[in-house]
Structure 1
Amino acid sequence: MADYGEYSDSELVGLFRSGDDAAFKEIYIRYDKLLFLYAFNKLRNEDEAKDVVQDIFLWLLKNKQSLVLKTTLSGYLYKSTLNKIFDIFRHRDIVQKYVDAGEYYIEVDNEDTDYLIREKDIARLIDQEISAMPPRMKEIYELKRKHYLSTKQIAVQLDISENTVSNQLKKASRLLKTRLGLVVYVLYIMNT
């Protein structure tokens, strides 16, 4: 009996496409826990993370004959997982009100284009939430995040105390975390 643990990912994909169920089982064993942890770290919801991983592997089973990888198996699985996560973000209550406004979902064939569209949509949601802040809070937050001024520089420019600036920045961060969700907020902070 063959030891499927010895096969490379590309060999396993070839065997799987030809109908070898043991190859699929090995792919599942290699990646189910890793994909779950990846999904859980982004979603912070165990059930949703499990569902994402199950959906990915179910899709693989249903489409094994037509499966063509333009990248590595791991790259494909992680990208598929990320796309599912974005789908979940799109359907969460916080984002749903913007989806209902229309023009949110655009069907595209290219996965990179799809990812960029979703990234732009998230950036637009963040900008809308910043625009909805009270005027002084918005001004302070934009001076910090868009103009990269220090707390002291903002205080001098606006002729207010550094303590007031710090408090407004904390309130703005809490507001964005609440309205956007922690994961989207962290992604935003990491990219600014």
Structure 2
Amino acid sequence: MSYNITDGDQELLQLLQGGSREAYLQVYKKYQRLLFLYAFRKLNNQEEAEDVVQEVFISFWDKCSKLSAEVSIAGYLYRAVRNRALNIFAHREIENKYLESLDTFLESNYESADTLIRERQIRALITAEIERLPPKMREIFELSRNGHLSYKEIALELDISEYTVGTQIKRALKVLRTKLGACIFLHLFF
């Protein structure tokens, strides 16, 4: 027995519950376009809307034999489309949160890595310029900055006057400030 698209849903449901593929095709023809438009209005994405409608019809075929005789086919299908659209929205939200946290993680690690690289480059530049200082000036400067010795302690260790120590450190700082520039020179102290 053949049913047209205009036949009632209850009769189609009875045929579906009996496994009628023809009844299923009639339901598909009757609701496919309407469900697509409904899904598209919700999702604003043609591919997702088409996928949702296809999934709903596959699920409907699998479940139609178990549906109650009082179920409205239209109500069932529209509700299924709405629920799948809500699942897509939830998935999008989770995906967006994941991507945001990934971006934040990558940005902070990139900034940290970039800062470390710059600091290493600056340290290498400073070290190279310190090594270019005359030997005695470099020794005095390194005892002061790296050894954390006072002028008096350096003078005692090297058997020179405190005045000489002070003069050599001032000259070393002047040379470094000139060669390294103000910004990098400040890095020496921080």
Identify the TM-score tier after normalising by the shorter chain. 0.3 to 0.5
TM-score, length-normalised on structure 2?
0.47
Q: State the structure with more CA Rg.
A: 2
TM-score, length-normalised on structure 1?
0.47
Higher relative helix content:
2
